[in-house]
């Protein structure tokens, strides 16, 4: 699908559909909407007065033009209350109207720049949000099944002033990079585990590296043994798929040694291992590598946007399966940083592989560290499916991540790291054990990870809830969400030396 900025009056454009907006509570359409209303002999205002169109956020009303305009359809989209209008609203609304128009068999769509004039959103931000909303909202995982509807081929963003075109084009091209990276992460999560193995994860990472000029490394079992990664290798013991530790490095600031570390949990299938999970819903555990997918594709996007910053993604990847060679409850593992771990549940495997990945990141001198992991069911119970839990040992870094989440619409909520709960993960026979009791499970998991970051500033995002969406909503579709990609990109851009120029 192509997204273009064009100069012209939206009412005159020859397309399948034109899209105009309406804030909630407005009795008369204004601006572009008013011009279109006039061409339709007041059809829109009459629908408003009959309360059929209310302007509620994400409401999409299809009005047929029957030859009164060059376009076959006018879509009037509700923008909600004017005072609540923000970029995420524009993204959600765009996702919604794009899907509605695809269902109405539209191939070519023209839209006005929602929210920019009257909603108080900047020009570039609006063009970026429309682009992201369209690409994300129209996403389908089509590898194994034909899509239900034909694609929209072209979206035109119409503006009257020629001078605005360059800034809008810049918004479109950034939005495109970020949304496509998110969709790649979604593809990886939606792929079944018989395809998306640790080796395949390494393949994808390599493709990203080659395409965007990143440093790529992959360590296999023997190299991990030599580095002392007993925790990661312990989890891998039950599987015949070889584990991989993948790194992807972007160097955008050659003058600095400093580099951010983005770590992602890469369990390509989590059966629970010997502490096996109930079979109901187990198929969703093919997506237990959502954190890995997010960090990988985020670094790919960052490489395209070229901020002056260094970022290295680290992905520990393995399956978690039961077998005659599998890790057992009661086993003791030794992580790369020398700490011994008593395994109580083989289903608390994410923190084991991250223990080694974090130790490796610290050893590499990466700082600060951000990890993304589908770590605990407890976090889903605590915050529901929309929010990721945010944990950290450095409040200013936590605040930065939360700010980025606000801008991207990826919802997050900070959780406490109560020292007292460390009691729960004390072991009788090792330095630490891998599970606590049934209370505060997301917190004890984070406290476990904290044992492997030393003093490095670190933030952990537990994305077990928002990695999937149960339904179409705004720019989300059923299945993988690609949660975290956009926040990581936002963080890298906002921390870059040349941030004003990007
Ligand atoms: N991958 C799961 C967490 C998860 C659960 C993600 C549901 C998405 C949806 C993780 O490896 C796990 O199994 N965690 C256990 C930890 C427990 C054994 C302490 C859990 O949350 O039940
Ligand atoms: Mn598990
Ligand atoms: Zn898991």
Dihedral (CA of 283, 285, 291, 296) sign: negative
**How far apart, in whole angstroms, are the C-alpha atoms of residue 33 and residue 19?**
9
Instruction: Please give the positions annotated as active site.
Output: 277, 351
Which of the ligands is closest to the CA of residue 445?
1
403 in the same domain as 318: yes
**How far apart, in whole angstroms, are the C-alpha atoms of residue 236 and residue 242?**
7
pLDDT 10s digits, 215-242: 999 999 999 999 999 999 999 999 999 9
For residue 282, is it within any domain?
Answer: yes
For residue 262, list its beta bridge partners.
Answer: 313, 370
For residue 458, list its beta bridge partners.
Answer: 369
pLDDT score for 117 = 76
Structure confidence at residue 497 as a pLDDT band (50, 70, 90): confident
pLDDT 10s digits, 11-39: 999 999 999 999 999 989 988 899 999 99
pLDDT 10s digits, 459-468: 999 999 999 9
pLDDT score for 54 = 97
For residue 485, is it within any domain?
Answer: no
Atom from ligand 1 closest to the CA of residue 445? 19
pLDDT 10s digits, 93-126: 999 999 999 999 999 999 999 888 777 899 999 9
Q: Residue 89: which domain range?
A: 2-178
What is the CB neighbour count within 10 angstroms for residue 185? 32
For the chain, what percent of residues have pLDDT higher than 70? 100
For residue 489, is it within any domain?
Answer: no
Residue 296 corresponds to which tokens in the numbers above? 């990988």
Atom from ligand 1 closest to the CA of residue 441? 19
Atom from ligand 1 closest to the CA of residue 277? 13
- On whether the CB atoms of residues 404 and 494 are closer than 8 A, the answer is yes
For residue 368, is it within any domain?
Answer: yes
Dihedral (CA of 189, 191, 193, 196) sign: negative
SS3 89: helix
118 in the same domain as 83: yes
Structure confidence at residue 500 as a pLDDT band (50, 70, 90): confident
Q: Is the CB of 435 under 6 A from ligand 1?
A: yes
For the ranges 40-49, 126-135, 316-325, 493-502, the lowest mean pLDDT is seen at 493-502
pLDDT 10s digits, 51-70: 999 999 999 999 999 999 99
Separation in Å, CA 136 to CA 57, 139, 159, 470:
18, 5, 23, 15
Distance 126 CA to ligand 3 centre (A): 37
User: What is the pTM assigned to this prediction?
Assistant: 0.98
**pLDDT reading at 144 higher than 80:** yes
Dihedral (CA of 181, 187, 193, 195) sign: negative
DSSP state of 50: T
pLDDT score for 118 = 73
212 in the same domain as 161: no
288 in the same domain as 160: no
For residue 67, is it within any domain?
Answer: yes
Which of the ligands is closest to the CA of residue 273?
2
pLDDT score for 498 = 85
For residue 492, is it within any domain?
Answer: no
Q: Kind of pairing, strands 60-64 and 73-78?
A: antiparallel
Q: Is the CB of 371 under 6 A from ligand 1?
A: no
For residue 270, list its beta bridge partners.
Answer: 320
Q: Kind of pairing, strands 215-219 and 73-78?
A: unpaired
b/e per residue, 339-364, with b = 16+ CB within 10 A? bbbbbbebbbbbbbbbbbbbbbbbee
117 in the same domain as 8: yes
Query: Residue 13 is part of a domain; what is its CATH number?
Result: 3.40.220.10
pLDDT score for 342 = 99
Q: Is the CB of 382 under 6 A from ligand 1?
A: no
For residue 473, is it within any domain?
Answer: no
81 in the same domain as 18: yes
**How far apart, in whole angstroms, are the C-alpha atoms of residue 369 and residue 343?**
25
Q: Is the CB of 345 under 6 A from ligand 1?
A: yes
pLDDT 10s digits, 193-219: 999 999 999 999 999 999 999 999 999
Average pLDDT, the chain: 97
Rounded mean pLDDT, 286-314 = 98
Residue 331 corresponds to which tokens in the numbers above? 């086993």
For residue 369, is it within any domain?
Answer: yes
161 in the same domain as 213: no
- On whether the CB atoms of residues 78 and 59 are closer than 8 A, the answer is yes
Structure confidence at residue 499 as a pLDDT band (50, 70, 90): confident
Ligand 1 atom 22, closest CA: 377
347 in the same domain as 265: yes
Structure confidence at residue 72 as a pLDDT band (50, 70, 90): very high
pLDDT 10s digits, 147-189: 999 999 999 999 999 999 999 999 999 999 999 999 999 999 9
156 in the same domain as 14: yes
**How far apart, in whole angstroms, are the C-alpha atoms of residue 373 and residue 395?**
20
393 in the same domain as 262: yes
Domain count of the fold of the chain: 2
SS3 185: helix
Tell me phi and psi for residue 206, to 5 degrees.
-65, -45
- The string of DSSP codes covering 343-409 is -S-TT--HHHHHHHHHHHHHHTT--SEEEEE---HHHHHHHTTT-EEEEES-HHHHHHHHHHHHHHT
Which of the ligands is closest to the CA of residue 343?
1
**How far apart, in whole angstroms, are the C-alpha atoms of residue 502 and residue 496?**
9
125 in the same domain as 230: no
pLDDT score for 115 = 83
**pLDDT reading at 347 higher than 80:** yes
Q: Which of 384, 467, 410, 389 is nearest to 190 (CA)?
A: 467
200 in the same domain as 103: no
pLDDT 10s digits, 388-417: 999 999 999 999 999 999 999 999 999 999
Query: Residue 447 is part of a domain; what is its CATH number?
Result: 3.40.630.10
**pLDDT reading at 502 higher than 80:** no
Taken as a whole, the chain contains a residue count of: 502
């Amino acid at each position: 699908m192509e997204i273009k900025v064009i100069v012209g009056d939206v009412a005159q454009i020859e397309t399948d559909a034109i899209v105009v907006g309406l804030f909630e509570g407005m009795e008369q359409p204004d601006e572009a909407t008013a011009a279109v209303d006039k061409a339709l002999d007041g059809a829109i205002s009459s629908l408003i007065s009959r309360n059929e169109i209310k302007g509620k956020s994400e409401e999409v009303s299809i009005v047929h033009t029957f030859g009164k305009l060059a376009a076959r359809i006018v879509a009037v989209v509700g923008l909600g209350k004017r005072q609540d209008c923000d970029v995420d609203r524009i993204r959600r609304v765009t996702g919604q109207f794009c899907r509605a128009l695809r269902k109405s068999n539209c191939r070519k769509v023209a839209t006005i720049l929602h929210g920019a004039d009257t909603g108080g959103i900047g020009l570039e931000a609006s063009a970026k949000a429309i682009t992201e909303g369209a690409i994300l909202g129209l996403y389908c995982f089509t590898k194994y099944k034909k899509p239900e509807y034909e694609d929209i081929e072209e979206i035109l963003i119409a503006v009257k002033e020629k001078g605005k075109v360059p800034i809008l084009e810049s918004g479109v091209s950034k939005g495109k990079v970020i949304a496509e990276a998110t969709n790649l992460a979604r593809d990886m999560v939606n792929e079944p585990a018989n395809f998306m193995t640790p080796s395949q994860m390494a393949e994808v990472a390599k493709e990203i590296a080659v395409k965007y000029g990143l440093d790529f490394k992959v360590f296999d079992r023997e190299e991990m043994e030599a580095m002392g990664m007993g925790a990661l290798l312990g989890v891998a013991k039950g599987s015949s798929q070889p584990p991989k530790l993948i790194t992807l490095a972007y160097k955008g600031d050659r003058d600095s040694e400093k580099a951010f570390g983005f770590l992602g949990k890469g369990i390509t299938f989590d059966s629970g291992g010997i502490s096996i999970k109930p079979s109901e819903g187990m198929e969703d555990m093919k997506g237990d590598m959502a954190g890995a997918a997010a960090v990988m594709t985020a670094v790919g996007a960052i490489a395209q946007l070229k901020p002056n910053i260094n970022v290295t993604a680290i992905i520990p990847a393995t399956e978690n399966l039961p077998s005659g060679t599998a890790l057992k409850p009661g086993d003791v593992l030794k992580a790369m940083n020398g700490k011994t771990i008593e395994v109580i549940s083989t289903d608390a495997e994410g923190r084991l592989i991250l223990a080694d990945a974090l130790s490796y990141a610290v050893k590499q001198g990466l700082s600060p560290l951000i990890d993304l992991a589908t770590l605990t069911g407890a976090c889903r119970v605590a915050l529901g499916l929309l929010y990721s839990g945010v944990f950290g040992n450095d409040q200013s870094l936590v605040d930065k991540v939360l700010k980025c989440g606000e801008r991207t619409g990826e919802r997050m909520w900070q959780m406490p790291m109560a020292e007292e709960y460390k009691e729960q993960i004390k072991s009788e026979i090792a330095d630490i054990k891998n599970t606590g009791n049934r209370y505060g499970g997301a917190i004890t998991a984070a406290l476990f990870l904290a044992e492997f970051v030393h003093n490095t500033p670190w933030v952990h995002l537990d994305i077990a809830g928002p990695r999937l969406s149960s339904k179409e909503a705004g720019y989300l579709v059923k299945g993988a969400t690609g949660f975290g990609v956009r926040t990581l990109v936002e963080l890298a851009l906002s921390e870059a030396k040349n941030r004003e120029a990007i």
